Structure 1
């Protein structure tokens, strides 16, 4: 397999010299874990105290990791990326809503986004988080098998209706929709809802995609059970496969509550689980569509090798590679140059509302071994190439 991820000229072609310098500066900061913790605490305080810090955040971390505060601003970024063969997933990155008007607002934003992208080739997916459409505690109560009172039953029906209306519209417009994964202790209810939407709207092809977080050791078995159901009930599975975003929180809660951790015992086990899930899906492309969300070069090469071994065209519509905007451009743009289907998650929303997402990005980059150092190595290489 030809190694393609060292080509920094392709990776950073869209970045001006000043944007390259900003990226280098940001990843230098993120590499310092104590600084990230201090910066997170200060930023949270400043926003809660209504201090005038939004312009500073906007000019630095927000503009690096986000497309803008609204869909229109994102179009500028989406158009530029699409010129290089990289598609966009609009991600209204507001999560963890608790009251009905906030949940309705996220739901209405998803409908509006579908209208916005329906004939826009550069944006073949939209995405939403379960906690954008329903309260975390409600998902948790259902996942844990507790009975709902009358008010909660009515509340849950509103959540179901939000899912159904958005997925129906995605189906009617033929725009694929990704449903993100969240914490394990609420994910069971979210999985059941996503499955119901697949049974209903994935009759001809995968429109609705759920998410498998493969740092959970049970996810391949879950996928196999779902596959059996799909074969019996004649629908297609759409699945975004990722490693996961809540590892420390999952392990901490398992320790506090005294139950076995749902997380794989090691990074190596997680990597193997991710690759095994991807391989299973590639083997079953007749009934599955795969969105491989990974910043891992080895896993990307392995998927490329699986496609080559199976004589699968680079642009087969059933296989997509995905990364987050502002990260792993060496993977995204070099894959696109080779003709693979690639899409970047492009978050947008009001600066203060997107801060939980941005803080998670900084914390993940700090905790994932090698991620930040790899970004820095490539940025250094490109700075040297440009003689900055």
Structure 2
């Protein structure tokens, strides 16, 4: 019934005259997954809810290798955490994972598991960034070469981490300069866009000669990735990071958007990420949406709650500055709801000129989005899509996918050595999400009891 309702919505320009039918996130769609997958998911989510494992993950991994040896330790990781959250190591393994997702009505959002940690002195030098550039270009090609998504849109999306291509130290310097009065003339998106196009040296007075050279090389790397992605028809979703970096990242995204998000080019090809847990997000999102509309540019947004809450608060406390984050989870949810309403209204007014990913594991946020889409006449497989992490909130993802919505799973891939540190960092950043996945664990347990013990029968939807 829900699928038929969604198909009707796709053909309408306004809200349906029938009654609104909400999606059910009761785990009913788990019937699509094998028992082994459900058991692994339950085990891994329980492990990830254990704080010491997340806090000391890297140390525990090293201890496991010393005690069990690399081969046995690696096998255990592949059978558990790696198998739950990672698509695989080779292109063939990634394609197999994607094909399995597509049978469930889900789509891939590939992510290269590499970035520079703030203030890290380990990964420096242009050669490291050039290596990351090559990895990003290969990810574009891999995204393009994956099986096509069914349906009328089938947008190919990929994540882009800017700090894999440019130094966090440079981003901090640029952010510090951007926040100064009168700095907008020297550091503006137009200048950066011109430097990207021409390849001519860009001199910024607040930077040293070495930093200016690194800025030029970084602009070149970003330009190459975006040009290649656009040629391959792959849309890039730029990750947000820390508040000490985000103004610089947004400036770089704005420069790229000026060249790539023209409606004539079928944009938006470059999307920015907005973190609802920051106090100023709603106003920034409103200004950016209006600026894109005024400039006649397509506008792409990934809306998230945010992952750096604890670190942001600690930094503000150490520096004696105002805490940039919302005071509690309820305030963050209200912020997310306001930003979501703002963007859905823009989508309904601008149509294909405005794209939105509702990147949330929260059932209430997904419910709000689907209901407002119905009320505003936005088709389920149109310019609004949904996103969750691979291996998490499958009861939400599967319900969306089976109802005909465009839903993507963020998919890291690579070797154990590359991906496990990345996963542990993501787990530390998403600690509240992992610890709050109690409902998903309960639904998994319920489905497994039904299968293994015959406690009740579920009729597939």
**Per-residue deviation, residues 169-214 of structure 1 (Å, max 9, x unmatched):** 2222221111111111011111100111111101012111111111
Tell me which residue corresponds to 1:282: 344
Tell me which residue corresponds to 1:75: 95
The Cα shift of 1:370 comes to 6.1
Matched, 1:134 2:166: yes
Aligned residues: 386
Give the distance between the partners of 2:86 and 2:209, measured in 1 at CA. 40
The Cα shift of 1:377 comes to 0.7
**Per-residue deviation, residues 59-89 of structure 1 (Å, max 9, x unmatched):** 2111111101233311101001112221101
**Per-residue deviation, residues 117-139 of structure 1 (Å, max 9, x unmatched):** 32542471111211111111111
Change (3 A) 1:332 1:368: closer
Q: Let me know the Cα RMSD of the aligned residues.
A: 2.2
The Cα shift of 1:11 comes to 3.4
Matched, 1:33 2:51: yes
Contact 2:268 2:354 (C-alpha < 8 Å) held by counterparts: yes
Tell me which residue corresponds to 1:255: 317
Give the distance between the partners of 2:67 and 2:451, measured in 1 at CA. 42
Give the distance between the partners of 1:183 and 1:72, measured in 2 at CA. 34
- 1:154 corresponds to which of 209, 213, 220: 213
Matched, 1:387 2:457: no
Give the distance between the partners of 2:405 and 2:432, measured in 1 at CA. 29
Tell me which residue corresponds to 1:103: 129
The Cα shift of 1:338 comes to 0.7
3-state DSSP of counterpart to 2:206:
coil
Matched, 1:10 2:32: no
1:208-219 superposed matches below 5 A = 208-219=270-281
The Cα shift of 1:48 comes to 9.9
Contact 1:365 1:371 (C-alpha < 8 Å) held by counterparts: no
Tell me which residue corresponds to 1:310: 376
Change (3 A) 1:193 1:44: farther
The Cα shift of 1:385 comes to 2.2
Change (3 A) 1:170 1:94: same
**Per-residue deviation, residues 97-123 of structure 1 (Å, max 9, x unmatched):** 533222112211221222233254247
The Cα shift of 1:9 comes to 4.2
- 2:229 corresponds to which of 164, 170, 176: 170
Matched, 1:265 2:324: no
Contact 1:11 1:332 (C-alpha < 8 Å) held by counterparts: no
Give the distance between the partners of 1:160 and 1:48, measured in 2 at CA. 42
Contact 2:22 2:371 (C-alpha < 8 Å) held by counterparts: no
- 1:295 corresponds to which of 361, 378, 395: 361
Give the distance between the partners of 1:220 and 1:48, measured in 2 at CA. 48
Contact 2:308 2:429 (C-alpha < 8 Å) held by counterparts: no
Moved more, 37-46 or 214-223: 37-46
3-state DSSP of counterpart to 2:61:
helix
- 1:336 corresponds to which of 398, 401, 407: 401
**Per-residue deviation, residues 19-78 of structure 1 (Å, max 9, x unmatched):** 221221122222222344344432255679995133322221111111012333111010
Moved more, 75-84 or 229-238: 229-238
Tell me which residue corresponds to 1:322: 387
3-state DSSP of counterpart to 2:311:
helix
3-state DSSP of counterpart to 1:284:
helix
3-state DSSP of counterpart to 2:244:
helix
Change (3 A) 1:366 1:127: closer
Change (3 A) 1:226 1:56: same
Give the distance between the partners of 1:356 and 1:144, measured in 2 at CA. 30
Segments of 5+ residues of structure 2 without an aligned counterpart are: 1-19, 117-122, 150-154, 178-204, 454-461
Give the distance between the partners of 1:38 and 1:93, measured in 2 at CA. 20
The Cα shift of 1:268 comes to 1.0
Tell me which residue corresponds to 1:190: 249
Change (3 A) 1:36 1:172: closer
Matched, 1:22 2:40: yes
Give the distance between the partners of 2:433 and 2:108, measured in 1 at CA. 24
3-state DSSP of counterpart to 2:408:
strand
Contact 2:45 2:434 (C-alpha < 8 Å) held by counterparts: no
The Cα shift of 1:4 comes to 3.1
Change (3 A) 1:208 1:55: same
